[in-house]
Chains A and B, each alone.
Chain A
Amino acid sequence: MKVTIKNWVGVATWRWVANDDNCGICRMPFDGCCPDCKLPGDDCPLVWGQCSHCFHMHCIVKWLQSQQVNQQCPMCRQEWKFNNK
């Protein structure tokens, strides 16, 4: 028997792999976007600190910019360093 595929539709789903469901700063789901954005995905990425805590990039950058002196992780108060690995 010979089968001919006439057409097909590919569907994919994606999600961020984070150790939590929600961003601790804005409390929105990681699979959604930060309150300043409209669409989730690469335009509203997640970032990790070396302390392993994770936030929407826009949320953590806003927090760090509002701090004059110590740039600390909002979760553990360790000095915030982006984990580039």
Chain B
Amino acid sequence: MSTPARRRLMRDFKRLQEDPPTGVSGAPTDNNIMIWNAVIFGPHDTPFEDGTFKLTIEFTEEYPNKPPTVRFVSHMFHPNVYADGGICLDILQNRWSPTYDVSAILTSIQSLLSDPNPNSPANSMAAQLYKENRREYEKRVKACVEQSFID
């Protein structure tokens, strides 16, 4: 069954393959183009470096007029990631635009890893350590980088 959302997702996938952004990858699951698996590699020169963080992206038939639900499957320690893996990022909520595609979503989340926003915390411990005890913050992040190799 082809719907506008599904056709758009086919184009997103094509673009992701033809013009892959550095450090992210993603693909639809085998039997459902509305659910994708993705991986974001921790950006260089950040405590997330070398991590391989897995995510799921769930689209509705309203895509691209409504954003997908994006969630980390890998355990994350980040000021803007909730305990359940949900992500607090404006462009996935009230600043969504239908001109975004999977490529743009994944690169935005990748840059959120480099530049957390501790003033809008989803994990208050991570936000507090990020602001007040960077050494401890980096230690906790490194632990989840290690964890990301296993899960």
Task: Please report A residues at the B interface, Cβ cutoff 8 Å.
Answer: 24-28, 34-36, 59, 62-63, 66, 74-75, 77
Structural contact, A74 and B99, CB atoms closer than 8 A:
yes
Structural contact, B11 and A27, CB atoms closer than 8 A:
yes
Structural contact, A27 and B66, CB atoms closer than 8 A:
no
The 8 nearest A-B residue pairs measured at CB: A35-B4, A24-B99, A66-B65, A74-B97, A74-B99, A25-B98, A27-B11, A35-B7
Structural contact, B7 and A75, CB atoms closer than 8 A:
no
Residue of A nearest to B5 (CB): A35
Q: Mark B29-40, 1 if CB is under 8 A from A, else 0.
A: 000000000000
Residues on the B chain within 8 Å of A62, using CB? 65
Task: Please report B residues at the A interface, Cβ cutoff 8 Å.
Answer: 3-4, 7-8, 11-12, 15, 62, 64-66, 97-99, 101
16 A-B pairs with CB atoms under 8 Å apart are A25-B98, A26-B8, A26-B64, A27-B11, A27-B15, A27-B101, A34-B4, A35-B3, A35-B8, A62-B65, A63-B98, A66-B62, A66-B65, A66-B66, A74-B97, A74-B99
Contact of B8 (CB < 8 Å), options: A27, A66, A75, A77: A27
The minimal Cβ–Cβ distance linking B130 to chain A, given in whole angstroms, is 28
Residues on the B chain within 8 Å of A28, using CB? 7, 11
Structural contact, A26 and B66, CB atoms closer than 8 A:
no
